[in-house]
Amino acid sequence: MESSARAFKENARAAVADPQLKRALSHVKEGFIGKRAKAAAKLPEFEVLRDAARDIKNHTLDHLDLYLEHYERKVTEAGGQVHWCPTAEDARRAVLEICRAAGARTVTKGKSMIAEEIALNDHLEANGITPVETDLGEYIIQLRGETPSHIIAPAVHLTKDLIEADFRAHHTALPPERPLSEPRQLVNEAREVLRDKYLAADVGITGANFLVAETGTSVIVTNEGNGDLTQVLPRVHIVVASLEKIVPTLEDVSTILRVLARSATGQECSTYTTFSTGPKRAEDPDGPDQYHVILLDNGRSSMLGGEFQDMLRCIRCGACMNHCPVYHAIGGHAYGWVYPGPMGAVLTPSLIGIEEAGHLPSASTFCGRCESVCPMRIPLPKMMRHWREREFERHLSPTGARAGLALWAFFAKRPALYHFVTGMAAPVLAALGRGRFRRLPLAGGWTAHRDMPAPEGRTFRQLWAGHRQGGSR
Amino acid sequence: MSEAREQVLGAVRRSLRRGDTAETLAAASAATGRIAEHRRNLIPARADLPRAEQIALFETWAVQQAASVARVPDAAAVPGALAAFLKAENLPAEIRMAPDPELEALPWRDQPMLTVTKGPARESDAVSLTGALAGIAETGTLMLHSGPAGPTSLNFLPETHVIVLPAERVVASYEDGWDMLRARFGEGFLPRTVNFITGPSRTGDIEQTIQLGAHGPRRLHIILVGADAEGERG
């Protein structure tokens, strides 16, 4: 997918000014947070399970080459084929070749963020194959020519009025006077429209939440059942997955499933968890004749063994963005690439470069809610700081910020001078500010949107010294 | 293709600093050992209960996830319970049944008004009937697998999915279900499809309000066989 992450500031400004988006995003705050908290509270072992899930993935990543080899062997034994793809381009080519060999005209798709990452739909369309998204949210945004704004709720940026207008504009064979203002009516209409597509498709493409090394199995976790119709009805099933989806055993996947649904939607368990191993067997009455796994690297292997390895534990539940005040304010599109929110702020620079995505790790208040809800205990704020440091080291931060930091560093390295200067400055600023500053030179970015509180006349160190001596002020 | 394989695996190995050392051999044996042992991690205690309560927990969670459950004393009562369900839900007396010997053995003659056909689902089928390998008490989840007796399309295409579950197949956890599958298919092998199903299909994609019947079944009905007798086993 093309990135507009460089334009993050402009994107964010436009998003904040969009009243429709604000209305739609209110559902994120209201819905996801309370549901997750309730589900976590109902399971006394939830916190210990988070530790266990983290440990499973840490072990897996430390042994990733070995589990990948075992996984491939098991897929092959079951009659499937693994296609190793170093880059997005390789993955697109592999999918197209399989579709062409199958003589495919239409392809149904379950939800897959990897398919978004490699911009699969555009590539298929450019080559004369029609991809049909079947997840309701994905279907809606495909009609609109948009990309997902959330990793588990792709159309979370839309209100039902907009969706109604899209359905009326696209489903022109249906009577124009039909009632369509209720979510139920919209869901039913999409269900009817997509039925025929499932039955007509030559190839079904799904993502994978997990790949199980023990059995060579791909796993999808869904609520709608679209991913299942996508993989059981066509002759060919293609799974697109990235290499860090591997887990060693069925027991390990079971443990992670217990934290996934609760963290994502606050469900005890998603409606459908489907384990697929190879094509249909000789005696099976239905199922696909071919089973292919597109195994994508696209930059992940270079995250291993370094300070961003922990990010590869991510299971794409979306809890970090559901709890992020920045995401609540601007939604997902402003981030400019496939992965929004805190996980995107860490992952995107790893995959497309800090030069391109330098703004994202800075789009954080460091409130720490993302890390506190991450089922895999990924230290997201710490890794955003790593990116900020790298950006600084590589002289990518703006001159003003660098100069400010250099000035501060000059004083910070000289505590006596720092103490002296701040001791002088505090009463002066207090007198000038009268409580707060509406505008500050060199800090226009801050004061454009809020006032800067003025110092109260004494520095923290002075106050602390007074406190230690027993006087409160 | 194998060039790409070496490229990806080589990059992974370099990042993990693999050499031809004792350390790498130890890592390899840790990985194969973990797979061979497939040891259980922590399992929530909630379903660790006497049989009657465990079965009740299965029902509670299934209902909480919008499935419906009917208890019948024995297998002979299944066709009657199914006919009653169809009538109560105002559904046609026509079912598409999995070619499962256990279901075929039921006394369908007792329900002459019911039309029963067998095989994978067709577009026109409104109601399917399947068996299940296990019911997982922990979350009210049903575990089904593909095979000659279990076409997967029956679990997703019809609007109503009815599952017959003998109560002795209610187990505590997903891990118990995996052990049942390993006993049937051997270590390291799975049938083409294993489905965990918890309630009917749903979506929250429009303004985060949950709607049932997104693409899969709108109704999931469980006929639980012999729960009272199983519960008395303690």
Dihedral, A222, B58, B176, B50 alpha carbons, nearest 10: 160
Statement to judge: residues A183 and A101 lie in one domain: yes
Statement to judge: residues A67 and A158 lie in one domain: yes
Averages of pLDDT over runs of 10 residues in chain A (473 residues) are 93 95 90 94 98 98 98 98 98 98 97 97 98 97 96 95 97 96 95 93 98 98 97 97 98 98 97 98 97 98 97 98 97 97 97 94 94 98 95 81 86 90 85 78 74 82 85 51
Statement to judge: residues A158 and A243 lie in one domain: yes
Which residue has 């009272």 as its token pair?
B228
Residue A206: C-alpha distances to residues A102, A292, A379 (Å): 17, 11, 29
- Which ranges constitute the DSSP H helices of B89-213? 101-104, 174-185
Distance from CA of A252 to the nearest CA of B (A): 7
Enter the DSSP assignment of A168. H
Inter-chain touch A271–B65, beta carbons under 8 Å: yes
For chain B, report the end-to-end CA distance as a whole number of angstroms.
57
Q: What residues of chain B, 170 to 229, have a C-beta less than 8 Å from chain A?
A: 173-175, 178, 188-209, 211, 213-217
A159 touching B, CB under 8 A? yes
Statement to judge: residues A332 and A297 lie in one domain: no
> B81-103, pLDDT tens digit by residue?
999 999 999 999 999 999 999 99
Q: B234: pLDDT confidence band, cut at 50, 70 and 90?
A: low
Q: Which CATH superfamily is domain B49-232 in?
A: NagB/RpiA/CoA transferase-like (3.40.50.10420)
Statement to judge: residues A336 and A424 lie in one domain: no
Domain boundary (A368, A393, A418) is at A393
Cα gap A137→B204, rounded to integer Å: 9
Tell whether pTM > 0.80: yes
Distance from CA of B16 to the nearest CA of A (A): 5
CATH number, residue A344: 1.10.1060.10
Q: What are phi and psi of B147, to 5 degrees?
A: 155, 180
**Closest alpha carbon to A214 in B181, B137, B20, B42:** B181
Statement to judge: residues A116 and A244 lie in one domain: yes
Inter-chain touch B198–A271, beta carbons under 8 Å: yes
- The SS3 call for residue A205 is strand
What pLDDT was estimated at residue A259? 98
Q: Is residue A8 part of a domain?
A: no
Statement to judge: residues A149 and A264 lie in one domain: yes
User: Is A318:A154 a contact under the CB 8 Å cutoff?
Assistant: no
Residue B6: C-alpha distances to residues A84, A85, A86, A457 (Å): 9, 10, 10, 65
Statement to judge: residues A189 and A277 lie in one domain: yes
Inter-chain touch A223–B200, beta carbons under 8 Å: no
Enter the DSSP assignment of A454. P
User: Is B207:A24 a contact under the CB 8 Å cutoff?
Assistant: yes
Evaluated on CA atoms A276, A279, A280, A281, the torsion sign reads negative
Cα gap A108→B6, rounded to integer Å: 31
Chain A contact probe: residue of B63, B173, B193 with most A CBs at under 10 A: B193
Statement to judge: residues A214 and A289 lie in one domain: yes
Which residue has 């660790």 as its token pair?
B48
Domain boundary (A393, A422, A449) is at A393
**Closest alpha carbon to A310 in A242, A381, A377, A245:** A377
What type of residue is A180? L
**Closest alpha carbon to B164 in B135, B195, B196:** B135
What pLDDT was estimated at residue A292? 98
- The SS3 call for residue B72 is strand
Q: Is residue A38 part of a domain?
A: no
Statement to judge: residues A278 and A133 lie in one domain: yes
- The SS3 call for residue A219 is strand
Set of chain A residues whose Cβ sits within 8 Å of the Cβ of B195 = 228, 272-275
What pLDDT was estimated at residue A270? 97
Statement to judge: residues A153 and A213 lie in one domain: yes
Enter the DSSP assignment of B46. G
B158 touching A, CB under 8 A? no
Q: Is residue A380 part of a domain?
A: yes
Set of chain B residues whose Cβ sits within 8 Å of the Cβ of A287 = 146, 152, 192-193
Inter-chain touch A281–B191, beta carbons under 8 Å: yes
B60 touching A, CB under 8 A? no
Domain boundary (A301, A323, A338) is at A301
User: Is B205:A290 a contact under the CB 8 Å cutoff?
Assistant: no
- The SS3 call for residue B195 is strand
Set of chain A residues whose Cβ sits within 8 Å of the Cβ of B9 = 65, 68-69, 84
**Closest alpha carbon to A45 in A311, A370, A375:** A375
Domain containing residue A353:
305-393
What type of residue is A105? R
What are the extents of the domains in chain B? 2-37, 49-232
Cα gap A386→A337, rounded to integer Å: 20
Phi-psi region of A277 (alpha: psi -120 to 50; beta: other; left: phi over 0): beta
Contacts of A149 (CB under 8 A, 6+ apart): A155, A156, A157, A331, A332, A333, A340
Strands (E), A252-296: 272-276, 290-296
Enter the DSSP assignment of A455. P
Q: What are phi and psi of A422, to 5 degrees?
A: -65, -35
Looking at the structure of chain A, the number of domains it has is 3
What pLDDT was estimated at residue A473? 47
Cα gap B214→B205, rounded to integer Å: 10
Q: Is residue A1 part of a domain?
A: no
A27 touching B, CB under 8 A? yes
Which residue has 């023990």 as its token pair?
A214
Statement to judge: residues A314 and A422 lie in one domain: no
CATH number, residue A239: 3.40.50.10420
- The SS3 call for residue A226 is helix
Cα gap A101→A290, rounded to integer Å: 11
Cα gap B116→A92, rounded to integer Å: 45
